[in-house]
Amino acid sequence: MFSKNSLFFETVKILIVSVSIMIIISSIYSYSVEKSLALAKLRKEAVFLKNITINTIASYVWNINKNEINDLSEIILEKDIISGLQIIDEKDDLFYAMKKVPFGTVSYELPDAEFIPPQYYFKIEQDLKNGDESFGHVIYYITDEKIYPAVRIALLKKIGEILLIVTGTLIIVLFGFNKTVIHPITDLNNTVNMFGLNNYSERSNITLKNEIGELARTFNFMADTIQENYEDLEKMINDRTKQLLHAEKMASLGELVAGVSHEINTPVGIGVTAITHLEKKTNDFIKLFNEEKAKKTDLDTFLNEISDTVVLISTNLNRAAQLVQSFKRVAVDRSTEEKRRFHVKNYFEEIMLSLRPKYKKTKHKIQIDIPMELEINSYPGSFSQIISNLVINSLIHGFENIEEGQITLSAKVVNENFIFEYEDNGNGISEENITKIFNPFFTTKRNQGGSGLGLNIIYNIVKQNLNGSIDVQSEPGKFTRFTITIPYEA
């Protein structure tokens, strides 16, 4: 539910670190306090033990009653706080000593015995007196060995209490924090993400009266403004795109007119030249005839000139008529977008004829691999626009720096679907661009006059006009293939 970098986990980490530091500080402080109290109690107990035993020890020592001294010493050493006892006489010699060892006690009674003091924390010395006369002193060796387990137990209890309180507090705080902060922020984040995915109707439902609620209300206000501006902008873009698409279409039609006009120019020019030549020859023969200088050979030459010139004129006028007829069909289809039945191969050839000015000065080849009998009831003007844009795209992009390329057009009917494939063996499309080629205004030739609308027009024609789909496959440096699938009966 929460990632490791979420605010909730960051807060938990901060709380855990903070609590851990507080527990460590509290533990150190508690340990110091408990140790101080335990040591104070130890001193008090040591003084009390000394007070209740010193007179008895003095009496036994004065009477030199070593058995009683030994018995009393063992009783004293049974106390946890005592690790040893030492009696010094008036000559500062060892009179008697006893200390704890791992398996009991050991006593020293000889004046010249070597006494090694036991481990001790501090010692208490008290003079031995008989009345006002001092005859030696006693040293009590006090150990703190037994207080540390008690201090540790007390400390652990204290830490346990702190942990219990802190854990309960953390649970309550985190539950409240999760409910009042994390959940609202998560909901707001989800709303923002949905809004970022173009769901501009998404709004936050947070009604809190704190900073998060204020942030949610600010977001809702911003979202309202963005949605309103987006709708206005989208309308402007749609209107502008329609204008650009229409302008692109008209420009394409204008290029078609210019190209066909250029193509018609040649046969019409030849026809005009031939007629002019025929007119001159006719005038020359009429002049000879009027001057009665015409011979049979002049008549034969004139008739041959007429025959050759008529053939030349007829051929070029037919060529011009064919171009005009093809242009008329293509231009009318493209401008009216009317549905009709047509032979696919013948019509595609007419389209290529109208596009001939674009590629006739190159070495590129165009192959139309379509059965002659294939007919389709659809919108020929859409196909004219599609093929024109694809051919121009190949010439500009596909065959850049390629001297001889080939374009292949093929079509077939499969399962009530008309499938048209357009392929060139040019430069191909890079992997990073192939997903963007149908986007409006995307072009790699921006600085060379590319509008980026050619393939977008094709995409819209296929999707909207022909109710079909278009797919593209490409391998850089080898080929690009567009596959258009539409219903056989539009």
Least confident of 384-388, 448-452, 469-473: 448-452
pLDDT digits (tens, 9 = 90+) for 1-24: 555 556 666 777 777 777 778 778
Give the three-class secondary structure for 228.
Answer: helix
The rounded distance, in Å, linking the Cα atoms of 392 and 248 is 13
Give me the pLDDT at residue 364, please: 92
Which range of 34-38, 108-112, 329-333, 404-408 scores highest in mean pLDDT? It is 404-408
HSE-CB at 340 with a 13 A cutoff on CA atoms is: 13
Give me the pLDDT at residue 453, please: 65
Give me the pLDDT at residue 272, please: 77
Least confident of 97-111, 234-248, 348-362: 234-248
Q: What is the DSSP letter of 362?
A: S
Residue 470: band (very low, low, confident or very high) from pLDDT cuts 50, 70, 90: very high
Residue 425: band (very low, low, confident or very high) from pLDDT cuts 50, 70, 90: very high
- The candidate with the shortest Cα–Cα distance to 127, out of 87, 94, 71, is 87
**Range list for CATH 3.30.565.10 in the chain:** 341-490
Query: In sequence order, what are the residues at sequence separation of 6 or more whose Cβ sits closer than 8 angstroms to the Cβ of residue 122?
Result: 43, 46, 142
Is the model's pLDDT at 441 over the cut of 80? Answer: no
Architecture of domain 341-490: 2-Layer Sandwich (3.30)
Is the model's pLDDT at 60 over the cut of 80? Answer: yes
Residue 405: band (very low, low, confident or very high) from pLDDT cuts 50, 70, 90: very high
**Range list for CATH 3.30.450 in the chain:** 7-149
Q: In this structure, what token pair is assigned to residue 160?
A: 């346990």
Give me the pLDDT at residue 111, please: 54
Give me the pLDDT at residue 412, please: 92
Confirm or reject CATH 3.30.420 for domain 7-149, answering yes or no: no
Least confident of 232-236, 325-329, 476-480: 325-329
